[in-house]
Structure 1
């Protein structure tokens, strides 16, 4: 069974993330979904409840929108609180050892903007090094991120395009979860 940590501050307005989660729910994927914005609107994260959820699962998926080249603030805060010393790292902090760490996110801009010559100047995977290091530091198995571009209506993408791409994203994620068992 997989744990999905959903971190979208405006999930109810999101076309891409809502579609991905709907597809996951409608699949045969055995999963637990934790919408941390819904659980902790005040950002007062219950680290013990979150750690217990992590311990119940072999694969943890972090589902979020790619904001300002990073994760939303609540997910960063979640990591700061939940991945604590002697739980996630330290001399006795091996509780996450061997679990799968799967970043899954959406990117508003186009793929062409995330090139050395593009508007963003770097490729998306270059912004994921902190995720890889977090997995490494906590002895988790880092799985290459699953993501797609073009999720912003403001950037000229249509709702139909976004939904179609989100469904493809969900299909890749479901396949990866099946592979990971």
Structure 2
């Protein structure tokens, strides 16, 4: 079974992230979903409850849209509160050791804009160093991110095209989870 930490601040209006989650729910993968934005709209995250959920799972998926080259604030708050000393790191903080840290996110802009001379100057993987280091620091197995671009209708794609691409990403995620079970 996998745990999906859903960190979309406006999930109800999402096209891509919503399609990914719906595809996972209807798949044959056993996944438990924690929609932290709806569980903690005040950002008052209960570390002990979240830690209990993490401890029950080998595969932890972090599903979110990229916001200003980073994770949404609710996910950063979740990391700050849940991955505490003595639990996730420190001399006795080995509770996450060996668990799989699986980033799965969506990127609004086109891939062509994420390169040295593109509008965003860096490749998407370069914006993932903070989460990669978080996985290493907590002794988790960092899995290369699963993501896709052009998730915004502002990039010229229709809602249907975005949803179709999101379902494709979900299928990739499902296949990956099956391969490591």
Normalised-by-shorter TM-score class:
over 0.9
Partner SS for 1:154: helix
Report 1:57-76 matches (<5 A): 57-76=57-76
Aligned to 1:173: 173
**Greater CA drift, 17-26 or 155-164:** 155-164
Asked if residue 41 in structure 1 is aligned to residue 38 in structure 2, the reply is no
- Give 1:155 shift: 2.4
- Give 1:180 shift: 1.7
Aligned to 1:32: 32
- Give 1:165 shift: 0.5
CA distance in 2, matches of 1:83, 1:96: 9
> TM-score, normalized by length of structure 1?
0.99
**Which runs of no fewer than 5 residues in structure 2 stay unpaired?**
none
Give the RMSD, CA atoms, in angstroms: 0.5
CA distance in 2, matches of 1:164, 1:31: 21
- Give 1:153 shift: 1.1
Report 1:1-181 matches (<5 A): 1-181=1-181
- Give 1:76 shift: 0.2
> TM-score, normalized by length of structure 2?
0.99
Partner SS for 2:42: coil
**Which runs of no fewer than 5 residues in structure 1 stay unpaired?**
none
Partner SS for 1:62: strand
**Greater CA drift, 151-160 or 78-87:** 151-160
For residues 150-170 of structure 1, give each alpha carbon's deviation from its aligned partner in whole angstroms, at most 9, with x where no partner exists: 000122221111011001100
- Give 1:139 shift: 0.3
CA distance in 2, matches of 1:146, 1:14: 18
CA distance in 1, matches of 2:155, 2:168: 20
Aligned residues: 181
For residues 119-156 of structure 1, give each alpha carbon's deviation from its aligned partner in whole angstroms, at most 9, with x where no partner exists: 00000000001111000000000000000000001222
CA distance in 2, matches of 1:6, 1:125: 20
